[in-house]
Structure 1
Amino acid sequence: MKRVHLDAKHLENVIRNTIEAVEKGHEETFKIAEHAKKECERLEKDLEQIKKNIAETIKTVEKLEKMEKNSKYQLMVVSRDFENYSEEDIKAAYERSREIQIMLTLEREREKQLREKRDEMERNLKNMQDILKKAERVTLQMGVALNFLKGNLQDLSEKLTDINQKQLFAGKIIKAQEEERKAIAREIHDGPAQSMANLLVHLEVLEKIYEDDPDAVKRELKDLKKIAKNTLAEIRKIIFNLRPSALDDLGIEAVARRYCSEFQEETGISVDFVVLGERVKLDSNVEITLFRVIQEALSNVKKHAMARNVRVKLEFLSEAVNLGVEDDGVGFDIEKLDEKEGDHFGITNIKERVDLLSGTVRIRSEVGCGTNIFISIPLR
């Protein structure tokens, strides 16, 4: 079966895009609902005004109908008794009746148009109210769905982020292991391996001269003894650096003090080791982390700092243990640290080790002003 590679970063992007798309749809639906609400309010206001206009028009029509009725009666009287009225009176009566009829016709047409407009507006209002209800319902449903998606997708995103971090951390662990193996191989090659090769050469010389020159044999044996002692010391040093067994018996203070002393003898760099606070027995993981940080920090001093003095301060508190390593070397630009990961791999290693114990790391350095590394590990 073909193995499927999990691209956590790609899945995170898909999740992020999905949430953004749903949020955008929710916003658009909300805008539609808001627009429908405003449109309903406008239609209701206009409809109310039209109803008022219709009521006024109806009053005007009723008034004109009464006036028309009166004008017709007046016209009938004038027509019946035309001999009692002048030609101008008769003409005025006809014109008045005609004028009222025209006004009445216009008002009736206006009433008809207003009623049609009212009916159309009522239909539009009903349709817009239906749209508003649907939009509000969809907005509510999308809001619930969005909250659900955000919760679940956020959980998934966090899991994928955790997977990403684990993959990255696993890669760093492998890299650190390979670097450590290279360092061990180099130490063995440059130290015990060379000494053993030298020892074999001396043994071959002894094999050739042991009968002819006994005094030379004695001298060679002394040299061989010295080589064997040095080789044993180098092997013990390598073992100590890998995992100092004294940590379990003597604790971090004694082991760190010994390491600082040996570092001073080897490099000529003065190391001031200070312990503050009431000593307590620390968890083995905390002790080995503190020891590794001291190793990494002093190794960095030896390789890069060109320092003359180093101060290592171990401080025991009730809730945490602090470690500070400060040198008076050349320092470096903190902002360019990431660009020089290969050169300052020790500092990266320090951050990763301390982070595993939920600790904090603070590094302060300036070119020409030395470096100060401070770590704090909580005591659980």
Structure 2
Amino acid sequence: MAVKTSEKALDHVIEEMIDVVENSKDEIFYISEGARKEHEQLVAELKVTKEKVLRHIENGDQLEQKVYFSRQRLAEVSKYFDRYTEDQIRDVYEKTHKMQTKLAMLRQEEQILREKRDDLERRLINLSKTIERAESLASKVSVILTYLQDDFKQVNEMIENAKEKQAFGLEIIEAQEEERRKISREIHDGPAQMLANILLRSELIERSYRKGDAEEALAEIKSIRKMIRSSLYEVRRIIYDLRPMALDDLGLVPTIKKYIANTADYNNLKIDFVVIGEETRLNQKYEIAFFRLVQESVQNAIKHAEAGLIQVKLEIRRNSLTMLIKDNGKGFDPKIKNEKSFGLIGMKERVEMLDGSLSIDSVIGKGTTIKIQVPYKPV
């Protein structure tokens, strides 16, 4: 009786935790979206401001030249004033005075625009950092929410007494830490490197501006905008594709089909998917693992192999599951170990957890083939 009471209390605590985490995730998302919209507005405003600065510089230089000649004229009139009428002398003086006044105002406006430009650039840097922190925090919250929804709800079904609950809780914490490490690897390989590249590009813009090459600076801004969109896509993919709902509702095969269709459409490339055997629901841990394996393999083929064609084949047998992922990308040498190849390390770890095997056949310039074989245990 005491155990049932504690189980109900635990369920209540978990539900409250899920509500708090979901609300926190929504708030983070709104903060991130607001910062992103402000970032886009500031980028547009910065572009306009830089154009105005350039125009003021050009107009000021032209007016300064006119003032120079007018002052020479004024000096000549002052030196030989007996040769000119009073009206002529007054006219030269007034014109020179007006141009000098206009030049002073123009230079003052130029200085104000320069200060505004510098302020916008500083605000953009701070906003980029805010977006990065918000997305990083949202990814962590999503991981916590995933485990709260998918694992903690099954705690009472998987344990029989308090000791088992304690042991299971430790296992969940270990799995949670492993998932965090995986997400940190994805962020390190994707958005973090993109943002570092954006920072370097912003320095190139400053150099181009100081050299007076406005066209090059504008080209760099367009390139930065494209990289920002790519990094935002990567961050959103990490946050919101941690676990697609279709995997729980429809199963492995329909979810892979949908994922492949969306990925092929977004990246404008061809991805073939073939299923051999009965398209039936599998044990949850196998569905999750194989979906993650497809995700990682396809993303590696797109990002690193730069493939134009990817072929995925899934064979479902009564006692085994086999998956083949083949691409026509640039390939690599499997004998050369890359310390930053976190994706392949994660795939091997997933397959080993299912007592399976993973083999990679790749030749530079001839593509890559990944074969995964796992013994299937329905229960």
TM-score tier after normalising by the smaller chain length? 0.3 to 0.5
- TM-score normalised over the length of structure 2: 0.40
